[in-house]
Amino acid sequence: MSDPKVPGVRPYHQPAGGWGALKAVAGALVDQETVVEGGKTLMRANQPEGFDCPGCAWPDPKHTSSFEFCENGAKAVAWEATSKRATPQVFAEHTVSELLTWTDHQIEDLGRLTEPMAYDPADDRYKPITWDEAFARTAAGLKALKDPNEAEFYASGRASNEAAFLYQLMARRFGTNNFPDCSNMCHEPTSVGLPDSIGLGKGSVTLEDFDHADLIMCFGHNPGTNHPRMMATLREASRRGATILAFNPLKERALEKFASPQDPVEMATLSSTPIASAYFQVKIGGDALLVQGMMKALLAMETRDGGVLDHDFILEHTAGFEAVVASVEALDWATIEAGSGLSRARIEEAAAVYAKAKAAILCYGMGLTQHRDSSGAVQQLVNLLLLKGNIGRPGAGICPLRGHSNVQGNRTVGIWEKPSTVMLDSLRDVFGFEPPRQHGHTVVEAIEAIERGDSKVFVGLGGNFAVAAPDPVRTFAAMRKLDLAVHVATKPNRTHLLVGKHAILLPCLGRTEMDVRAGVRQSVTVEDSMSMVHASRGLNPPASEHLMSEPAIVAGIAAATFGQDPLVDWPGLADDYDAIRDLIARVFPGAFDDYNDKVRVPGGFRLPVGPTNRVWKTATGKANFIVHDPKGGDPRRGDPDVMILTTLRSHDQYNTTIYGNDDRYRGVFGRRDVIFANPDDLARMGLAQGDLVDLGAAFDETGERVVRAFTVVARDIPPGCLAAYYPETNVVISLDDHDQRSGTPAYKSAPVRLRKHQARWPNGAAAATAVP
């Protein structure tokens, strides 16, 4: 289908993985000038004695091979272990306004930050300051606020449990629950949807379950790129004869076939392992209806043949079965087919495979969670599993694929804008202060509060807040209104450059680096997607002698803010992470008992996960079937000219960090300015592959929110659907379009209009019709 006329776009026929992946590892190390160090460092990623790979949250196998190979893990490690340095001299050479004209890639490519710096508005430059000065200014900014709720404490999920715990303690001691965090843009529908269903906002499976499943269903995730170590697991399952079904609007290469770079035979013979047995190209945002269609088909099979549902499980362990049966039976096939983009026959095919499976795992990622109705969609996935008792027994369960390597751990230790009463009471009892009870802001709410002028100070523990968030028109303008922004970071990025009155940059150690405090080499701990907590120890020398660890930076801010604090020994905690872990164990009894002993065992320990053992901490005491409430609705709002855009990661990026411009498995090389569209749609609109197009937010009255002069590429994608890369297309994502219950932005279902590129995009939604 691909047309050779489009420069940089050509079909990629090889399997995912294979020699392409090995070549890419070498390339990543050379690009970042880390050939020797990076190579050595890689061998220690996700090994019992090394550091936790910052690439993703997929767990480590029990019997790790000598080298857990992963191309994108290699890129993440090389990115951090680079020899490039963003020194004060570099910042002296460029004003902030000038740096803002650079691409995201160029800004981060300056390299690792080396010294604390503060923005000097007189000169429009960041200039070095001492750590003491940096802490004093941060404390002064916080103490100047009338109300602690005028501060926002953002966290991106790379911080360790120790750093995250101190961070939430500092902010709550200060008096706020304003913890917008990357989870709010990512798996919040999991944290909101799953507790009502199964009593815990986390996955129920362990890695071993994948050895016992005979069916694995993959909804809306792209593991070849984003969880490459999962490919080894899927490949094993496939070779064992397990069935893998993929549900995704795009045909992702790694879900079709994969060659293991660790398999000498596949590498020598250029062979590969097929992954998905069947591929279902669901329409963007159509998953909840698709799954209800599968349930409807299962119920019909049960009525006809019997033996499909697990009645004992349903009776003993669940509530709400009859209501869901009634609602699914009331749904007509026409609605299901229109909403899912799949025919009844295909949905029945998927249901028949599921009906036969003895043990099934259901995995899902951002394709499920970033829509207007994602918490509800997640609950439909659980319904499907409950029908056949597929939670809480070997080889079965639900498996949300988390994003950042410790995003799940951050939430566990308290980074949460809606903390439980139990946790707050425990903080009170352990530390002797009354924590704030009022719920805080999510990411979207934080941006709205900053925009209104209600929030005046922003502290960021990692991440690239403004670039990751929707609608830069509003978000960037909001950041410029801040009295003070304080960013703890490893590398510079655009968010740091959106300065308001005052801004401070605090350079920290990365996961790969040695962390010595008070003469002792410290280790930190992290939690993976499957609730395994284990230790991580960096081994590289720090990128600069001035760097501080994240726990020490947080403690430094706290000590400057609270002075001689009778309740928390901040300087003492900064020098002894065992002492931080002892406090975590006291605040979360049961979960973290004997924390320090347990993380000293290689491989660590698993936190209690009720659903794994069929313990349901829900209001009914059972797993709940939940009726789908379709009010999230179709973002098209009845306008036939409106198309739906899903925004994706390329193979050469880590969220807002762009390593390079290739997306090998999708056959795109040297560019990111493409939009994938259905060929029939293009023909209907009088467009051809290779045409320059503009993409505008469909309901934007101002006409400002337009992605201009991108190239359209024909792809096998359902009609009415478009796909393009994040963050370049975030300008068309509205801050108002988010999951109604969790607030997660609808990054994967933006209503847009596509038209031939033209000089001006007409103002006003009514004028902005589709291409004639």
The residue behind tokens 């060659």 is 259
Rounded CA-CA distance 618/682 in Å is 48
Pattern 387-416, binding to ligand MGD, x per CB under 6 A? Answer: --------------x-xx------------
Q: Which is nearer to ligand MGD, 44 or 622 (CB)?
A: 44
Residue 734, contacted partner among ligand MGD, Mo ion, none, CB below 5-8 A by kind: none
Which runs of consecutive H residues, i.e. helices, occur in 122-213?
131-143, 161-174, 188-198, 209-212
For residues 467-486, one letter each, b for 16 or more C-beta atoms within 10 angstroms of the residue's C-beta and e for the rest, the string is: bbbbbbbbbbebbeebbbbb
Both tokens assigned to 475: 């978000």
403 binds Mo ion (CB under 5 A): yes
Residue 465, contacted partner among ligand MGD, Mo ion, none, CB below 5-8 A by kind: ligand MGD
233 binds ligand MGD (CB under 6 A): no
Number of H helices, E strands in the chain: 32, 31
681 binds ligand MGD (CB under 6 A): no
Both tokens assigned to 427: 């903080």
Among 52, 188, 252, 662, binds ligand MGD (CB under 6 A): 252
Q: Which is nearer to ligand MGD, 260 or 318 (CB)?
A: 260
User: 562 by DSSP, 3-state: which?
Assistant: helix
511 binds ligand MGD (CB under 6 A): yes
**610's torsion region: left (phi>0), alpha (psi -120 to 50) or beta?**
alpha
Question: Least CB distance from residue 465 to ligand MGD, whole Å?
Answer: 5
Rounded CA-CA distance 503/117 in Å is 9
Q: 219 forms bridges with which residues in the sheet? A: 247, 364
Instruction: Annotate 20-72 with DSSP letters as a single string.
Output: HHHHHHHHHHHHTT-HHHHHHHHTTBTSTTSB--TT--PPPPSS--SS---HH
Beta sheet of 117-120, edge-to-edge order: 125-128, 117-120, 502-507, 484-489, 457-461, 151-155
Q: Which is nearer to ligand MGD, 69 or 219 (CB)?
A: 219
User: 696 by DSSP, 3-state: which?
Assistant: strand
Among 70, 117, 289, 508, binds ligand MGD (CB under 6 A): 508
H-helix or E-strand spanning residue 228: helix 228-239
Question: Least CB distance from residue 368 to Mo ion, whole Å?
Answer: 12
Question: Least CB distance from residue 55 to ligand MGD, whole Å?
Answer: 6
Residues recorded for the chain? 772
Residue 376, C-beta contacts closer than 8 angstroms, at least 6 positions apart: 193, 288, 626, 628, 629, 630, 632, 741
Rounded CA-CA distance 471/1 in Å is 33
Among 158, 257, 581, 738, binds ligand MGD (CB under 6 A): 158
**744's torsion region: left (phi>0), alpha (psi -120 to 50) or beta?**
beta
**What sign for the dihedral angle of Cα 634, 637, 639, 641?**
negative
Among 465, 570, 577, 625, binds ligand MGD (CB under 6 A): 465
678 binds ligand MGD (CB under 6 A): no
Question: Least CB distance from residue 469 to Mo ion, whole Å?
Answer: 13
Question: Least CB distance from residue 186 to Mo ion, whole Å?
Answer: 3
Residues 101-140 touching ligand MGD, rule: CB under 6 A, are: 108
253 binds ligand MGD (CB under 6 A): no
# chain residues binding ligand MGD, by CB under 6 A: 61
409 binds Mo ion (CB under 5 A): no
Of 654, 505, 532, 694, the C-alpha closest to 58 is 532
Residue 55, contacted partner among ligand MGD, Mo ion, none, CB below 5-8 A by kind: ligand MGD
367 binds ligand MGD (CB under 6 A): yes
Residues 182-211 touching Mo ion, rule: CB under 5 A, are: 186
Among 462, 542, 604, 679, binds ligand MGD (CB under 6 A): 462
**484's torsion region: left (phi>0), alpha (psi -120 to 50) or beta?**
beta
170 binds ligand MGD (CB under 6 A): no
| The one segment of 264-272, 296-304, 648-656, 752-760 that binds ligand MGD by CB under 6 A | 648-656
Question: Least CB distance from residue 247 to Mo ion, whole Å?
Answer: 19
State phi, psi for 712 to the nearest 5 degrees. Answer: -90, 135
- Amino acid letter, 158: R
Among 287, 337, 445, 691, binds ligand MGD (CB under 6 A): 287
464 binds ligand MGD (CB under 6 A): yes
Pattern 482-501, binding to ligand MGD, x per CB under 6 A? Answer: ------xxxx-x--------
Q: Which is nearer to ligand MGD, 58 or 321 (CB)?
A: 58
57 binds Mo ion (CB under 5 A): no
Residues that bind Mo ion (CB under 5 A): 186, 403
Binding site for ligand MGD (CB under 6 A): 55-56, 72, 108, 156, 158, 182, 185-186, 219-222, 225-226, 247-250, 252, 282, 284-285, 287, 365-367, 370, 401, 403-404, 461-465, 468, 488-491, 493, 508, 510-511, 550, 646-649, 653-657, 726-727, 730, 733, 747-748
